[in-house]
């Protein structure tokens, strides 16, 4: 299972009226891309109108429950095809590199120069030490990858429109965390950060041309900071999109 970041309305998300970055690449290059989600095998997608009605009702109930925590009414759009969406694919390795980088910086430890392919950050001693020492909730480390379009900063447990229980956080909380990470060392401006999703990340191991995919390398080690910057940039751009359009940020896998 790969990891994509989706910033858009939950109605569009549940209606599957969006395409991952890999699907978009496939369409542009005439390659069929099938997305298999284990939780959606043999599940029929309801009509968009039904999804919108259910999500709208759920949104109002959730905002009512959270009213005591809100300092202003949030911009939270829900529609199937009007509000634009943003998506990109950091993958689990890049997200893990970002969590490892943040753990080391928070602890004042050196960041490992490289990280192995499929490295399990949740068993990494730096990550475990940080989780033991941290004093407050951090959505990057503790939410289930569902951030509501709310400026106020908090984390809570509740239910999705599907009835599944999740740990939610707010986009305001994620934004503050990303700004903190940036302030430790990078101190990069928005323009620079946005380039990282194109200039940093995974080394090239395959090339596509003439209708064929040609493998040119087998990369089993990645530069930790470069991979962390790649994931950071994608999340940063998702936050900016959410603030502009009033959308969720979701881990899709």
Which positions ≥6 away from 234 have C-beta within 8 Å? 5, 88, 89, 90, 94, 197
Give the strand pairing for 146-148 and 165-170: parallel
Q: Which residue has the tokens 């969006």?
A: 18
Q: Which residues of the chain have pLDDT under 50?
A: none
Q: What is the pLDDT of residue 37?
A: 65
CA neighbor of 171 nearest in space, from 252, 245, 94: 245
Strands (E), the chain: 4-8, 86-88, 114-116, 146-148, 155-159, 165-170, 206-209, 212-215, 221-223, 248-252
Question: Which residues, in sequence order, are bridge partners of residue 223?
Answer: 114
Q: What is the pLDDT of residue 41?
A: 55
- Give the Å distances, CA to CA, from 164 to 132, 167, 193, 218: 28, 10, 34, 39
DSSP class of 214: E
Structure confidence at residue 136 (pLDDT): 93
Nearest in space to 170 (alpha carbons), one of 247, 245, 101, 223: 247
- pLDDT score for 83: 98
pLDDT at 232: 98
pTM score, whole prediction: 0.93
């Amino acid at each position: 299972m790969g990891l994509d970041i989706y910033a858009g309305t939950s109605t569009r998300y549940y209606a599957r009226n969006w395409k991952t970055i890999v699907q978009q690449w496939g369409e542009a290059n005439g390659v069929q891309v099938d997305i298999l989600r284990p939780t959606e095998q043999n599940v029929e997608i309801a009509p968009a109108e039904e999804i919108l009605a259910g999500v709208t009702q759920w949104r109002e109930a959730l905002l009512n429950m959270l009213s005591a925590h809100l300092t202003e009414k949030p911009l939270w759009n829900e529609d199937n095809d009007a509000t634009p969406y943003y998506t990109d694919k950091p993958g689990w390795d890049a997200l893990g590199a970002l969590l490892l980088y943040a753990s080391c910086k928070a602890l004042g430890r050196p960041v490992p120069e490289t990280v192995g392919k499929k490295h399990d950050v949740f068993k990494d001693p730096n990550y475990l030490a940080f989780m033991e020492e941290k004093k407050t909730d951090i959505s990057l480390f503790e939410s289930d990858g569902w951030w509501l379009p709310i400026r106020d900063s908090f984390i809570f447990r509740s239910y999705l429109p599907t009835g599944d229980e999740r740990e939610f956080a707010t986009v305001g909380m994620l934004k503050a965390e990303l700004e903190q990470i940036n302030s430790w060392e990078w101190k990069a401006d928005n323009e620079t950060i946005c380039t990282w999703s194109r200039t940093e990340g995974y080394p090239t191991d395959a090339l596509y041309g003439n209708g064929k995919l040609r493998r040119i390398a087998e990369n089993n080690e990645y530069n930790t900071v470069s991979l962390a910057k790649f994931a950071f940039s994608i999340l940063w751009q998702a936050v900016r999109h959410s603030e502009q359009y009033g959308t969720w940020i979701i881990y899709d896998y």
